[in-house]
């Protein structure tokens, strides 16, 4: 919580130790996820409405569900998976956060700011709780097999935390943005397989790439989103914001930090690109 006239940020920090203990339990803890949104968030919003404190809700690209309307626009319809698939509990809970916050905006005139984040990454981010980019980078630097789930053809867009923080500050200080939903992310799309190859190229690692079936990682019947690409026009039009760092910039910065911490393979800058082919080892 930031005191004064600033903002209370809704987060799930208390759940991180549990996620670290079992990375993929995130998709299994449906009761905890839904109760968190069904009990804690309403109390928080009621308190902020009472004391007239603006609220920043950090939502997620997960709320777009299985939509194939690429890029994802803030006002696009969402397509959720079946309720029998527990991984969609998180997306639905986050959507409920947004509905509740906007209800307070319209009914109690509470200033709310809702941001949907798309794969935020940064130099000190850990792979301990399942984040794909730091996981692959740490495996590459240690010379270990790099684990890619599914076919590796699923794609994501990774945005630097430095750019995201700049966007959040602009969002929270823009009076015209209250009561709006805004995507923050980059449109530099990459498949997870190509991400692994790029990390190998930038670090000079000889690690093999190992394909791990979804069923083995997440359990039977896991649903994944094939693509997650944000429409960032609103962020540019309302906030004057656009990301400034490329994926290569992000990987290199993360590798630099790990090299200083004593990783086995130091980052190699400006390595000539070769026709790298993965070792398709199915675990």
Catalytic residues, which ones?
Answer: 90
State the SS3 of the chain. Answer: CCCCCCCEEECCHHHHHHHHHCHHHHHCCHHHHHHHHHHHHHHHHHHHHHHCCCEEEEEEHHHHECCCCCCECCCCCCECCCCCCCCHHHHHHHHHHHHHHHHHHHHHCCCEEEEEECCEECCCCCCCCCCHHHHHHHHHHHCCCEEEECCCCCEEECEEHHHHHHHHHHHHCCHHHCCEEEEECCCCEEEHHHHHHHHHHHHCCCCCEEEECHHHHHCCCCCCCCCCCECCHHHHHHHCCCCCCCHHHHHHHHHHHHHHCCCCCCCCCCCCCCCCCCCCEEC
Residues whose CB is less than 8 angstroms from the CB of residue 189 and which lie 6 or more positions away in sequence, other chains included: 155, 156, 157, 227, 229
Q: Would you state the structure tokens that stand for residue 209, as one six-digit string?
A: 């790439």
């Amino acid at each position: 919580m930031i005191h004064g006239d600033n903002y209370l940020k809704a987060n799930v920090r208390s759940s991180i130790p549990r996620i670290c203990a079992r990375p993929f339990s995130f998709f299994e803890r449906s009761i905890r996820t839904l109760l968190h949104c069904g009990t804690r968030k309403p109390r928080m919003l009621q308190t902020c409405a009472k004391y007239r404190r603006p609220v920043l809700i950090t939502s997620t690209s997960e709320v777009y569900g299985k939509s194939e309307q690429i890029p994802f626009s803030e006002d696009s319809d969402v397509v959720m998976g079946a309720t029998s698939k527990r991984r969609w509990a998180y997306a639905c809970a986050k959507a409920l956060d947004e509905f509740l916050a906007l209800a307070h905006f319209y009914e109690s005139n509470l200033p709310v700011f809702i941001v949907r984040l798309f794969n935020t990454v940064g130099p000190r981010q850990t792979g301990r709780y399942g984040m794909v980019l730091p996981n692959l980078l740490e495996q590459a630097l240690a010379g270990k097999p790099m684990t890619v789930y599914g076919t590796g053809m699923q794609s994501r867009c990774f945005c630097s935390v430095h750019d995201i923080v700049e966007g959040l500050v602009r969002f929270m200080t823009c009076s015209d943005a209250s009561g709006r939903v805004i995507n923050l992310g980059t449109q530099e799309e990459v498949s997870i397989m190509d991400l692994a190859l790029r990390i190998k190229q930038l670090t000079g690692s000889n690690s093999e790439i190992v394909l791990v079936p979804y069923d083995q990682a997440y359990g039977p019947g896991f649903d994944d989103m094939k693509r997650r690409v944000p429409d960032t026009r609103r962020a540019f039009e309302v906030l004057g914001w656009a990301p400034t760092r490329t994926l290569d910039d992000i990987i290199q910065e993360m590798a630099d930090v790990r090299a200083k911490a004593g990783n086995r393979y130091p980052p190699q800058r400006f390595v000539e690109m070769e026709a790298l082919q993965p070792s398709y080892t199915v675990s």
